[in-house]
Amino acid sequence: MTYADEDWYPPSPPGWQQPGTAPQGHTSRHQPYGRDLWQEPYGYTSRHDAYGHTPRHDPYENYRNGADLAALRSAYRLLRRVSTLTALGSFVVYVVLSCATPDLMGSKIAGELSLGMVLGVLQLVVTFAAVFWYGRSAERSVDPLAQVVREQAGTNSGAAR
Amino acid sequence: MTDFNSGTQATVLILFTTLVTLTLLMCVMAGPERDDLANFYTGYLSLTPLKNGLAIAGDYISAATVLSTTGIVALAGYDGYVLAVSTALSLVLLMFLLAEPLRNAGSFTMGDVLARTMPGRAVRIAACVVTLAATLPFLVVQLSGAGSLLTFILDIPHGAGARTICITLVGSLMIVYAAIGGMRGTALIQMIKIVLLLGTSFVVAVLVLNRFDWSPGEVLRAAQQGSGAGPTFLQQGLQLGTSAGERLDFVGLQITVILGVACLPHITMRLYSARDVPAVRRSMSWAVSTVTTFCLLVIIMGTGAAALVGSQYITAADPQGRTSILMLSRVLGGDASSVGATVLYAAVAGVVFITLLSSVAGMTLAAASSLAHDLFAHAAQRGKAEPRTEMAVATWASVGVGTLAIVLATLAQNWNVGVLTTLAICIGASAVAPALTYSLFWRGFTRTGMLATLYGGAGSALILMVFSQAVSGTPAAVFPNADFDLFPMQSAGLVSIPFGYLAGWLGSRRDHRRRAAESRENLRLYEENEPRLLAAAE
C-alpha cells in the first residue's frame, strides 16, 4: 500500500484557489489547473476510509477521469446518434416512400431510370462518402479524448501497483 | 438451357477439385497453434485492416446473398434493388453503431460481451442458445441450397440421392475447414473468396453492360421485357404484392434486414480480432466499401439476368431464382462450345462453390465457438477449463454442429427452406440486436432484462414465423396445403423487434424495483467497464 501523503491535498470546496505548490509528479502529466475541475458535483471526499488512510490515488484524478470520460461518452454519443440516425433514417424514408407513393418513385426522370432506382443507387454511392466522413470525424472528435482516458487509466493502475 | 457438352462439366469438376485441394491445404497450413485460445478464436491479431476488412466482407456476403439477392433482383426488379441497398446499409449500421464498443467489450464470443456486466451462467447459456438459433437455420438453408445448386452446376439428374450426396460432401468439407482451420483458416478462405467473387462479378457486370452498349436505359428496357412484368418491374410490389398489408410486410422485411443481418454472430465474431479501435474502423471501412461495391454489381447482374435470360427460364430452373447468376454467365459466354463460354461458366460456378463452402464454414465455426466458450468453458466449467480442453471441445463442437446441419438439410431438401433465412435474420434483429445495444449503451440494463430480450426476442420471432404466411397458407409457402397462418405476414420482424426491445426494458424495470441490490451491482460493473468500453483502457 502506498501512502501518498506527500502528493495529496484535502479537497477544497468549489471556487477555492488551488495552492501554488502543486504536487510535482502529477501536474506534469495532466492538464494545468483552471480546467473545469469543479464543474462536477462535489462528492468524492468519502474516499477516506474509516482509519484515516488516504485513498490509493489522488481524488483530483477521479474528477479529471470522470470529466474526461464524460466528455468521451458524449462525443461518442453525438457521433453515434448523428451517423446511425442519418443512415437508418434515410433508408426508412426511402422504403416508406417506395411503398406509399409508387407512382412518384416510379416516375421516369431520365430515359428508363426511375426516381426510386436513382435514389436507391444513390444511397449506395453516398455510403462511400459517409464511411469516409465517419472515419474522419471519429479521428477528430473521439480519438483524442479516448487517448486521454487511456493514458489516465494507465497512470492510475500504475499508482495502484 | 443445359446444352453444355461434357467438356464444360469436366472443366468445372477439375476447377472444383483444384479449389478444394488448394483451400484445404491452406487451411491445414494456417491452422491455429495448439493450446493458444486467442489464436484459435480470433485468428490473427496482426491482420492488417485491409485483410481483416476483406475477411469481414467475406463472412458477410454469404451464398444466400449472392444467389438469392441476385435472383430476387432478376425476378422482382425494384424490390430486389431495395433488398440490395438494405443489405449494404446493414453493415454500415454495424460500423456506425456497434463495431467499436463491440471490439472493446468482447474477447471471443457474443457471450463475452453480454456477460461482462452480468456474470453468471444464465446469461452465457442464453447467449449460446440465441447464437445457435440464429446460425443453425442459416446453415441449413445454405447447405440444402448447396445440394440443388451442385446438381444444377454439374448437371446431375435431379434425384433425392444425388442431392443428399452433394449436401453431405459440402457439409463434410465445411466441417473440415471449421475444425482444422479455426478462425485463421476461415479468414484466409474468406479473403480469397471475396477477391475472386468481386473479380468475377465485375467481369460479368461489365459483360452485361457491354452487351447493351453501356446504356443503362437499354438494360432496363430489356429487363422489363424479359421479366414479362413490363413497367411494374421498376415499381415496388412484385416480390410480396401491392395491397396495403403486403406493402407493410415489405417495409417490415427491409427493416428486419437492415437491423438483423449484420448482427448475426458469425459477423460480429470477426470484429473481436481487430488490434485496436482505429484498426476496427479501418477494417469496417474496407468491409463496407467491398460489400457496397458488390451490392451495386448484384443490381447490374440481376437486371442483366432478367434482360438476357428472362423470367420464365429462371423460374423454370428454380422458383426462387437462385440459379439466375449461373444462367446469366451461360448466356453471356455466347456459343456454348467456345473457350470463352467454358471459362466464364466455370469461373462463376467455381466462385459460387467457394462462396458456399466458406460461408457455411464461418457459420459452423461461430456456433461451435459459442458452444465451447460460452456453454462449456463458462457455463459448465465456470471459467476454469484448460485452454487445450476448450479447443478440443470447440473442434468436436464444429463436428457436432456440422453433422446436425447436414442431417437437417438432408431432411429439408425438398421444402422451400428460404423461410429459414428470414427466421435467422428475424432472430438477429429481435434478440441479438436489442441485447447488444442495451448491453453496450444502457447502464440500467439488468439480468432479467437481458434474459427477457434474448429468449423473448428469439422466441417471439420463432413462434411468429411458424404461424406466418411463409410457412403455410400461400402457394409459395413451405407447406402450401396446410393452413395455420395466423400471423398474416411473411416476416415477423415488424412485431418481434419491438417486442424484443420492450421485453428488455420491462425486465430491467422489474429488476430495479424487485432486486435493487443486484441492479446496483450491474450498474457498478457497467461503470467500472466504461473506460474499457469507450476507450479500450485496461
Predicted confidence (pLDDT) per residue in A84-132, tens digit: 999 999 999 999 999 888 888 888 887 778 888 899 999 999 999 999 9
Tell me what the mean pLDDT of segment B451-463 comes to.
Answer: 96
Tell me how far CA of residue B7 lies from CA of B12, B18, B325, in angstroms: 9, 16, 21
The span from the CA of A156 to the CA of A152, in Å, is 6
pLDDT mean across residues, chain B: 89
- Is B241 touching A (CB cutoff 8 A)? no
Q: Secondary structure of chain A in the HEC alphabet?
A: CCCCHHHCCCCCCCCCCCCCCCCHHHHCCCCCCCCCHHHCCCCCHHHCCCCCCCCCCCHHHHHHHHHHHHHHHHHHHHHHHHHHHHHHHHHHHHHHHHHHCHHHHCCEEECCEEHHHHHHHHHHHHHHHHHHHHHHHHHHHHHHHHHHHHHHHHHHHHHHC
Evaluate whether residue B516 is within a structural domain: yes
For residue B11, the model assigns a pLDDT of 85
Q: Does some domain include residue B26?
A: yes
- Classify residue A77: in a domain, yes or no: yes
- pLDDT confidence of residue A105: 84
* Predicted pLDDT at B1: 44
Q: Is B121 helix (H, G, I), strand (E, B) or coil?
A: helix
Q: Helices B339-370 and B6-30, interaxial angle, to 10°?
A: 40
Instruction: Indicate yes or no: CB of A149 within 8 angstroms of CB of B537.
Output: yes
- Which residues of chain B from 107 to 146 reach within 8 Å of chain A, CB to CB? none
For residue B487, what are the β-bridge partners? Answer: B468
* Residue A91 contacts B, CB cutoff 8 Å: yes
Pick B207 or B30 by higher pLDDT.
Answer: B207
Q: Would an 8 Å CB–CB cutoff place B231 in contact with chain A?
A: yes
Domain contains A14? no
How many domains would you assign to chain A?
A: 1
Q: Which of B23-37, B295-309, B408-422 has the highest mean pLDDT?
A: B295-309
Residue A100 lies in a domain: yes
Contacts of A67 in chain B (CB under 8 A): none
Range of the domain at A139: 57-154
Check: CB of residue A4 under 8 Å from CB of residue A57: yes
Minimum mean pLDDT among B13-17, B26-30, B87-91, B236-240: which range?
A: B26-30
Least confident of B20-34, B68-82, B95-109, B218-232: B20-34
Classified as helix, coil or strand, B318 is coil
Backbone phi and psi for residue B385, each to the nearest 5 degrees, phi listed first: -75, 145
Give how far Cα B159 sits from Cα of B9, B17, B142, B243, B315, Å: 18, 23, 18, 38, 19
Q: Report which secondary-structure segment, H or E, holds B38.
A: helix B37-42
Residue A109 Cα, gap to closest chain B Cα (Å): 11
Residue A26 has pLDDT above 60, yes or no: no
A32-71 burial, b at 16+ Cβ within 10 Å, e below that, comes to eeeeeebeeeeeeeeeeeeeeebeebbbbbbbbbebbbeb
pLDDT of residue A9 exceeding 50: no
pLDDT beyond 70 at A57:
no
Whether A14 contacts chain B with CB within 8 A: no
A153 interface with B at CB cutoff 8 Å: yes
**Average pLDDT of the residues in B219-246:** 87
Separation of alpha carbons B359 and B169, rounded Å: 15
Report chain B residues whose CB lies below 8 A from the CB of A80: 96-97
Q: Is some CB atom of chain B closer than 8 A to the CB atom of A114?
A: yes
Beta bridge partners of B472: B479
Lowest mean pLDDT among B147-161, B345-359, B473-487: B147-161
Q: Is A131 on the interface with B (CB under 8 A)?
A: yes
Q: Which residue type is seen at B262?
A: A
Give B330 or B107, the one with higher predicted confidence: B330
- Counting the structural domains of chain B, the total is 1
Contacts of residue B165, defined as CB under 8 A and 6 or more positions apart, other chains included, come to none
The pLDDT tens digits for B93-141 are 999 999 999 999 888 899 999 998 888 899 999 999 999 999 999 999 9
Contacts of A100 in chain B (CB under 8 A): 247
- Could you tell me if residue B230 is inside a domain? yes
Reply yes or no on whether the pLDDT at A55 is more than 60. no
Q: Higher-confidence residue: B334 or B456?
A: B456
In the predicted model, what is the mean pLDDT of chain A? Answer: 69
In 3D, which of B477, B481, B502, B499 has the Cα closest to residue B490?
B477
- Residue B34's pLDDT is 61
Chain A residues inside the 8 Å CB shell of B105: none
In a domain, B350, yes or no: yes
Query: Which residue of A102, A135, A150 is in closest CB contact with B236?
Result: A102
Report whether B444 contacts B518 (CB < 8 A).
no
H helices present in B154-239, as ranges = 160-176, 182-211, 216-227
> What pTM does this model have?
0.87
Residues 44-63 of B with CB under 8 A from A: none
Instruction: Please give the average per-residue pLDDT across A54-79, as a whole number.
Output: 74
Question: Domain containing B162 — which CATH number?
Answer: 1.20.1730.10
B1 belongs to a structural domain: no
Dig out the grid coordinates for B456 from the structure: 423473448
Nearest CA in chain B to A66: B531
Q: Using CB atoms and an 8 Å cut-off, which of residues 369-388 of chain B contact chain A?
A: none
Q: How confident is the model at residue B45 (pLDDT cuts 50, 70, 90)?
A: low
Say what the pLDDT of residue B3 is: 53
pLDDT for B371 equals 94
* Residue B447 belongs to some domain of the structure: yes
pLDDT band of B23, cuts 50, 70, 90? confident
* Domain containing residue B112: 6-535
